[in-house]
Structure 1
Amino acid sequence: MTAACEHGCCTSAALASDRRAVLKRRVRRLVAATISYNVIEAVVAITAGLDASSAALIGFGLDSVVEVASAGALAWQFSGADPEARERTTLKVIAFSFFALAAYVIAGSAGSLLGPETAHPSTTGIVLAALSLLVMPGLSGAQRRAGRELGSASAVADAKQTLLCTYLSGILLAGLLLNRLLGWSWADPVAALVIAAVAVKEGREAWRGDHCC
């Protein structure tokens, strides 16, 4: 027997209360792990980005800040006695976070493409992007499964935020490697613009609550 939530999720109408409690605890643990990793990722990426004048690295670091804000909103939601009542507010916070990221990255990328300063190669950025490609898929997948079973659009939206970091890690890695190996400094701000475009798409989906299924 299934019932559809307002966001189109399919979840068991008879999901036992003890199972719901287990899933909620799992979401909280995954959120804590996501916040911890992304705080470190943000510090390293922004520091390395400023050192290398890399719009892509700075944008990646700011995406990590957005992920922390998103995960923090989800932690607030699931800290209450009735997480479902906080669902829409959490989704709005996640959406605004995406839009703010996109606006900043677009401005920074335009300045890099049109300005005289070019991005320098960053070994630290390459290592960080490769590490995120390994870490983020596992965190995202576990949270997405728990969120879908709970029927929580916000948990799934935050999981997609984490999965987005995987895609952005690949984009970032490609841009940094092109700069390092071929000297294509323009690849860095172009990679940042791709990051911004994906962030806008995810923000729109979060705003509409389309993340559940």
Structure 2
Amino acid sequence: MTCENGCCAPAVLPERRTALTRRVRWLVAATITYNVVEAVVAISAGSAASSTALIGFGLDSVIEVASAAAVAWQFSGDHEARERTALKVIAVSFFALAAYVGFEAVQALIKAEPAGHSTVGIVLAAVSLVVMPGLSYAQRRAGRELGSASAVADSKQTLLCTYLSGVLLAGLVLNSLLGWWWADPVVALAIAAVAVKEGREAWRGQHCC
């Protein structure tokens, strides 16, 4: 057994470790690429529709890029030595996400200003709802086998993006069809609470336990 940052996993053969490290790098690269595209589309569509939810979703993608970049940096060298630093970066990204989403959700509830319809936003949220769970699962599985708490933490960041996709999709559809402008900010507050919890776990290095 090997234990790093409280993250214990069975011993892995050198050949398998090399293969897993390479897999994590590819998954992180895919996550970064997708989130860059997602951020550009979401922020552009959000600005056009005056949708705080869409803009917030785009900024969440920027935070996800920062989290994935931290893991990419870690695995570009001695990933075991860089584990703790990468976890701190991921934790801060969770807290930043929670702060922004929570603030914007409260603002949306206070102002009670419904956003306009956004077909682009609905399609983007639906696509992300399909893509993100696969990326999260693959990275979490490789990270656990490798014994990397940071890789698992980043996979949870991606999974949180999946939840946000679902919330965004529900909010945009309910707003467009029924005029329920409050649906998105209310659920977004719950997502912010989850982000705080995940941030604490990342800071303590508890994501593999």
TM-score (norm 2): 0.93
Contact 1:55/1:188 (8 A) holds in 2: no
Asked if the contact 1:30–1:143 (Cα under 8 Å) also holds between the matched residues in 2, the reply is: yes
Is 2:65 aligned against 1:68?
yes
The residue number in structure 2 matching 1:39 is: 36
Partner of 2:121: 125
1:163-212: CA deviations, max 9, x gaps? 11111111111111110110111223223323322222221111111211
**Count of aligned pairs:** 209
Unmatched segments (≥5 aa) in structure 2: none
Q: How does 1:76-155 map to 2 (within 5 A)?
A: 76-80=73-77, 82-115=78-111, 117-155=113-151
In 2, Cα distance between the equivalents of 1:57 and 1:200?
21
Conservation of the 8 A alpha-carbon contact between 2:113 and 2:181: no
Distance, in Å, in 2 between the alignment partners of 1:191 and 1:164 is 13
Q: Report what 1:173 is aligned to.
A: 169
What does the per-residue CA deviation read over 1:37-84, in whole Å, with 9 as the maximum and x for residues that have no partner? 00001111112122222222222111111110000000000001x211
Q: Which amino acid aligns with 1:138?
A: G
The one-letter code sitting in structure 2 at the alignment partner of 1:96 is V
Contact 1:109–1:189 under 8 Å retained in 2: yes
Using the alignment, how far apart are the partners of 2:179 and 2:66 within structure 1?
35
Identity of aligned residues (%): 74
Distance 1:54 1:11 in 2: 47
Q: Distance in 2 between matches of 1:167 and 1:157?
A: 15
The one of 152, 158, 180 equivalent to 1:156 is: 152
Q: Which residue of 2 aligns with 1:209?
A: 205
Q: RMSD of the TM alignment (CA)?
A: 1.5
Gaps of 5+ in 1: none
Distance in 2 between residues matched to 1:185 and 1:6, nearest whole Å: 43
* 1:104 Cα offset (Å): 1.7
